[in-house]
DNA sequence: AAATGTACCAACCGCTCGTGG
DNA sequence: GCCACGAGCGGTTGGTACATT
């Protein structure tokens, strides 16, 4: 059976929009609004387009106050900061950047920022990080803290809010998380894959083959990275060892060397 | 100058979520 | 509570421009 298509695919035009189509759509919406029904809109104005396509065209190209052109350094920083804390929630990120669309940001991230951020990893393929373990494989007894429900970091039994979905600060959670002192409290970290910080740790997983937390007062290995202010201090504590080395093993990440030694991960 | 590779971006696809009947 | 439908979202694709060999 499957899902019913949103429009008659055989009778709708695909591909690039012509100036005439743009003009029809723009003038209609400017005068009448969408009427809350994109699906019916193309027929109303005599366009042989899928309603979804009309919506996308309007949101990403025709609506007023859109920015076109390159991203500023400030925008880079905001995107990177939000990405590491909330992941690929492009619509949320777009809401923090007036004039930019989720599609803009997604494209920009996929084609430029991701490489900028992860590119250094490629320089050192000789000493790749160990394979990332599936949650079920990861021994949790050494976990130092857990990220529990959305918007909170739990350290030892205390829950500290990072942010809620509708009040995301522009440069955010990284600072907050740094305040979360390591706790010796065992915690099942990977219960928390859906937490806002999940993709941040996922990125780190890919880079280092381990998960990290920050502790104040230590040298900042991420200085200048991701637009993180240089005053931030990151560290090293091990969350979930990617494997269980007998005594000491070193991992080469994209920007720094990690040394695992007797249950603790340290950066050189 | 031609061939090939890379970067960029518009648009599409299919899924999930919210809402109204 | 269930179902159908539209809106919204994130992932992916394909075309084009530009860079490199």
Render pLDDT for A238-255 as a digit per residue (tens, 0 to 9): 222 222 222 222 222 222
What's the full length of chain A, in residues? 268
The whole-number pLDDT of residue A59 equals 84
Q: In what order do the strands lie in the sheet with A158-161?
A: A146-147, A152-155, A158-161
Could you tell me the two tokens for A264? Answer: 């603790």
Q: Span A11-64: which CATH code?
A: 1.10.10.60
CATH 1.25.40.20 assigned to A69-128: no
Task: Give, as one character, the DSSP assignment of residue A225.
Answer: S
| Residue range A51-60: mean pLDDT, rounded | 86
Q: Determine the average pLDDT of the residues in A78-89.
A: 76
Which of A224, A236, A229 is closest to A261 using CA atoms?
A: A236
**Residue found under tokens 């937390």:** A213
**Mean pLDDT, chain A, as a whole number?**
52
Centroid of chain to Cα A229: 18
Q: Tokens 């240089």 — which residue?
A: A230
Q: Which tokens is A196 given?
A: 């806002």
Mean pLDDT, rounded, for A68-83: 78
User: Within a 10 A sphere around the Cβ of A235, how many other Cβ atoms?
Assistant: 19
Q: Which of A91-100, A151-160, A199-208 has the lowest mean pLDDT?
A: A151-160
* Alpha helices (H) along chain A: 19-32, 41-44, 51-57, 73-86, 90-95, 102-108, 114-122, 174-178, 198-208
| Contact yes or no for A158/A181 (Cβ under 8 A) | no
Nucleotide with minimal C1' distance from the CA of A56 is: B11
CA A248, CA A265: separation in Å to the nearest integer? 10
Footprint of strand B on the protein (CB under 7 A): A 3, 9, 13-17, 49-50, 52-53, 56-57, 60-61, 68, 70, 103-104, 106-108, 110-112, 115
How far is Cα A37 from Cα A39, in angstroms, rounded to an integer?
5
- Beta-bridged to residue A251, according to DSSP, are A258
What pLDDT does A129 receive?
30
Asked if residue A45 lies in contact with residue A28, where contact means CB atoms within 8 angstroms, the answer is yes
Nucleotide whose C1' lies closest to the alpha carbon of residue A41: C6
Nucleotides of C under 7 A from a protein CB: 5-12
Determine the protein residue whose CA lies at the shortest distance from the C1' of B9: A107
Whether the pLDDT of residue A224 is over 50: the answer is: no
Q: How many Å apart are CA A129 and CA A222, to the nearest integer?
A: 17
Asked whether the predicted pLDDT for residue A19 surpasses 60, the reply is yes
Instruction: Using a pLDDT cut of 90, give the percent of chain A over it.
Output: 0
Distance, Å, A223 CA → B13 C1': 40
Rounded to whole angstroms, the Cα distance separating A67 from A185 reads: 48
Encoded tokens for A148:
């529990």
Strand B, nucleotides covered by protein (CB < 7 Å): 7-16
Q: Which is more confident, A161 or A12?
A: A12
Structure tokens at A231: 């005053």
Residue with the bigger pLDDT between A85 and A90: it is: A90
* Distance from CA(A41) to C1'(C6), angstroms, rounded: 12
Q: Over 70: is that where the pLDDT of A63 sits?
A: yes
Q: How many Å does it take to go from CA A110 to C1' C18?
A: 18
CA of A85 to C1' of B12 (A): 29
Helices (H) and strands (E) in chain A, counts: 9, 6
**Residue the block writes with tokens 């052109």:** A69
Outline which parts of chain A fall under CATH 1.10.10.60.
11-64, 69-128
pLDDT at A246: 26
Q: Which residue has the tokens 């005599």?
A: A46
Is the pLDDT at A22 greater than 70, yes or no? yes
- As beta bridge partners, residue A257 has A252
Residue of least CA–C1' distance to B14: A3
Q: Are A45 and A25 in contact (CB under 8 A)?
A: yes
Residue A57 C-alpha from the chain's centroid: 24
pLDDT reported for residue A187:
28
Q: What is the mean pLDDT of residues A127-132?
A: 29
Residue A107 CB closer than 7 angstroms to strand C?
yes
């Amino acid at each position: 059976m499957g899902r019913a298509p949103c429009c008659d695919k055989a009778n709708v035009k695909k591909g690039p929009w012509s100036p005439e189509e743009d003009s029809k759509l723009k003038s209609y919406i400017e005068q009448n609004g969408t009427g809350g029904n994109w699906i019916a809109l193309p027929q109303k104005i005599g366009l042989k387009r899928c309603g979804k396509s009309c919506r996308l065209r309007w949101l990403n190209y025709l609506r007023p106050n859109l920015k076109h052109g390159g991203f500023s350094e400030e925008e880079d920083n905001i995107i990177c900061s939000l990405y590491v804390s909330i992941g690929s929630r492009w619509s949320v990120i777009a809401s923090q950047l007036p004039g930019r669309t989720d599609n803009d940001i997604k494209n920009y991230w996929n084609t430029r920022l991701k490489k900028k951020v992860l590119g250094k990893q490629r320089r050192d393929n000789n000493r790749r990080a160990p394979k990332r373990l599936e949650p079920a494989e990861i021994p949790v007894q050494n976990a130092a803290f857990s990220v529990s429900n959305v918007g909170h970091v739990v350290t030892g039994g205390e829950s500290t809010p990072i942010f809620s979905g509708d009040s995301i600060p522009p440069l955010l959670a990284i600072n907050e998380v740094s305040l979360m002192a390591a706790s010796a409290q065992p915690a099942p970290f990977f219960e928390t894959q859906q937490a806002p910080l999940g993709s941040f740790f996922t990125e780190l997983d890919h880079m280092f083959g381990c998960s990290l937390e920050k502790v104040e007062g230590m040298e900042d290995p991420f200085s200048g990275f991701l637009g993180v202010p240089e005053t931030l201090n990151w560290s090293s504590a091990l969350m979930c060892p990617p494997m269980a080395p007998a005594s000491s093993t070193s991992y080469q990440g994209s920007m720094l060397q990690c040394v695992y030694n007797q249950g603790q991960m340290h950066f050189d």
